[in-house]
Amino acid sequence: MAHAVNEWQLEVWLRKEPRLRGSVVVPYEDAAASVAEIRKRAGDPNFCQVLLMSRTAEPAGNPRYWPIYEAAVEAGLPVAFHAFGYSGWAMTNGGWPSFYIEEVSEHATSCQNQVISLVTEGVFERFPGLKIILIECGMAWLPSVGWRLDKHWKQLKSEVPHLKRAPSDYIRDHIWVSTQPMDEPERGKHLADIMEWVGWDKILFASDYPHWDFDDPRAALPGFLPAERRRDIYGGNARAVYGF
């Protein structure tokens, strides 16, 4: 099915519109099949990233997924985690939620778990060229996760001797985020502080169009951002990470 989706992307969209790029859809719970699909698409400029969902059967740093990351690095493709997915497990540690508002709010926590797992399992030490992009998961939580990991790491280094640097260093070097949904704190300066920590070169514009809650590019970014920052977020950062 993943192979068929990729063929459909090529036939219906990508070959007909040179402005578009596709994601390599992979059956990520089957690492061998995923690797085969990545290698088949390697070198095809129609594809710009490997796509996984944020809810996997096991945390994303588990070695069962490492062949996917290895193949992606070999192909020169970032790995994107998009919110949603169905792992077979409840998305909360207390069971299934009652309302969609609970599920859509859980997007952020699912990606927090994946970032923590990728860092602590040593994925970035094993694959220093790996680039991870988080889509539709927000970004305001990323600094606090980095701070918390750094605090625990100082006392628990013996548990993870494979980590050669502070966890936040791996996050800031290897993690990119998308703007949709844009976090909107009451004070604009707080958002600027968050974006500064994440890295101005690590933030990619996303609209989520045509969903009902999409972000209009004319109003998505706060007006206080300088023109050069806006330019990079709207396109420059994507061109850099994807190699356009």
pLDDT, residue 18, reads 93
pLDDT, residue 186, reads 87
- pTM recorded for the entire structure: 0.96
Which residue numbers in the chain have pLDDT < 70? none
> Which residue ranges form the domains of the chain, and what is each CATH number?
21-242 (3.20.20.140)
pLDDT, residue 160, reads 97
Distances from the Cα of 10 to the Cαs of 16, 45, 73, 144, 146, in angstroms? 8, 11, 22, 40, 38
Rg (CA), the chain: 18
Instruction: Count CA within 13 A, CB hemisphere, residue 26.
Output: 32
pLDDT, residue 25, reads 98
pLDDT, residue 84, reads 87
pLDDT, residue 11, reads 98
